[in-house]
Amino acid sequence: MLFNILAPAVGLATLVAGHGAVTSYQIGGTAYPGYEGFSPATSLKTIQFQWPDFNPTMVVTDAKMRCNGGVSADLSATIKAGENVTAIWKQWTHAQGPVMVWMFKCSGAFASCKGDEKGWFKIDQMGMWGTQLNSENWGTAIVLKNLKWSSVIPKNLAPGNYLIRHELLALHQANTPQFYPECAQLVVTGSGSATPPADFLYSIPGYAPQSDPGIMVDIYGSKATTYTCPGGPVWSGFQSS
Ligand SMILES: *[C@@H]1O[C@H](CO)[C@@H](O)[C@H](O)[C@H]1NC(C)=O
């Protein structure tokens, strides 16, 4: 009897410990602490939207898809277009699935910037290399190994206030996608003037249907030898609207 009562609690603890979230950033040589508690909570002011837990979002239309349930942060980091943003995960456990990094241009102050328009564009992504979905040749396997991911802010990007969103999509469970997105606030500087054309812009949540073959996939049973990330290609910064 005792075991029957204990078993689910142990299972839950393992599950919570097993996933992950972005917990800090390295930007232009400066370390920015991120959110590390479980909101709502009082914690240090950070550049990152507070998020509720390490658990995945399972459905692309869930409101948590945008920034893991977080809302505007108190601080922002300044970065010159062309420099790198490095996201750091305190823990991450899955080796199959893509890494996708998105940005969203705020129309004004961060306090009113919710990312709730069709304005999200990708600046970086890595799906799978090689030909076997059931391998560890995936972007998220690199995060598992290094616990960090570096992306270049497109060098021509127009200056302004932006949200940056790091998304890990774990595909280790057949036809049971797990999304892990977190957001932070960046003031981009520089002399660029480019903004992504409309066909690079997406709404989040809902950037792809749940049935997208990059989302609803059985990596063990699939005969596919290539993988296409959901949500379209990366905007290089050279095409402009
Ligand atoms: C900047 O990010 C790119 C990947 O987008 C990477 O190739 C490069 O090594 C990074 N540079 C630094 C200094 O981290």
Cα 105 to ligand 1 centroid, rounded to whole Å: 22
Does ligand 1 have an atom closer than 6 angstroms to the CB of 151? yes
Position 46 scores a pLDDT of 93
Q: Is 115 left (phi over 0), alpha (psi -120 to 50) or beta?
A: left
Top CATH class, 19-200: mainly beta
Pocket test for ligand 1, best of 102, 150, 164 (most atoms within 8 A of CB): 150
Position 204 scores a pLDDT of 98
Q: Which strands form 120-126's sheet, in the order they lie side by side?
A: 77-80, 178-189, 160-170, 99-105, 120-126
16-30, 63-77, 183-197: which is most confident:
183-197
Does ligand 1 have an atom closer than 6 angstroms to the CB of 182? no
pLDDT of 10 over the 70 cut: no
pLDDT of 18 over the 80 cut: no
Q: Tell me whether residue 173 is exposed, middle or buried, using C-beta atoms within 10 angstroms of its C-beta: 0 to 12, 13 to 18, 19 or more.
A: middle
Average pLDDT over residues 50-78: 92
Nearest in space to 151 (alpha carbons), one of 100, 189, 186, 195: 100
Q: For residues 124 and 101, give the distance between their C-alpha atoms in angstroms, rounded to a whole number.
A: 5
- State whether residue 5 is helix, strand or coil: helix
Position 41 scores a pLDDT of 61
pLDDT digits (tens, 9 = 90+) for 121-177: 999 999 999 999 999 999 999 999 999 999 999 999 999 999 999 999 999 999 999
Q: How confident is the model at residue 38 (pLDDT cuts 50, 70, 90)?
A: low
Cα 149 to ligand 1 centroid, rounded to whole Å: 9
Does ligand 1 have an atom closer than 6 angstroms to the CB of 187? no
The domain spans of the chain are: 19-200
Average pLDDT over residues 220-231: 97
Does ligand 1 have an atom closer than 6 angstroms to the CB of 26? no
Q: Tell me whether residue 160 is exposed, middle or buried, using C-beta atoms within 10 angstroms of its C-beta: 0 to 12, 13 to 18, 19 or more.
A: middle
Instruction: Return the half-sphere exposure (C-beta side, CA atoms, 13 A cut-off) of residue 119.
Output: 14
Average pLDDT over residues 111-125: 97
